[in-house]
Amino acid sequence: MKNIAGFTVRIPASLHKKAKEISKKESKSLNEVIRELIKDWLKKEEEKSLFEAFSAVGESDVEYAFNAQKEVILADEKPKKV
C-alpha cells in the first residue's frame, strides 16, 4: 500500500477486547479486520448508490448506459500499439 492514512477510533474496551479475540482466532491483525470491514462497507454503499441511480432512470437509459460501458470495456481490451 503506497498511500496510507491513519486515524484513531474510540470504542468501548469490551468491544475492543472481543474484536481482538476474534481477529486472533482468524489469524489476522485487528488492523486488517477493520480494513476489511471498511472495504466491505464501502463496497455495499457504492452498490446501493448505483442501484438507486439505476432505479431512478428509465429502462432505455439503463440499456444505453450498459452499451456505453460495454464499448469502453471492449476498447480497453484491444491490444495497444507500441
Letter for the amino acid at 81? K
Quick one: pLDDT at residue 47? 85
Tell which residue, 50, 16, 41, has the closest CA to residue 8.
16
This prediction's pTM: 0.59
Residue 55: all three cell numbers together = 432505479
Letter for the amino acid at 75? A
Stretch 9-16: mean pLDDT: 96
Residue 18, Cα to own-chain centre: how many angstroms?
Answer: 25
Quick one: pLDDT at residue 52? 78
Q: What is the pLDDT of residues 37-77, one digit of tens each?
A: 999 999 998 888 887 777 766 656 667 777 777 777 777 65
Cβ 58 vs Cβ 69: under 8 Å: no
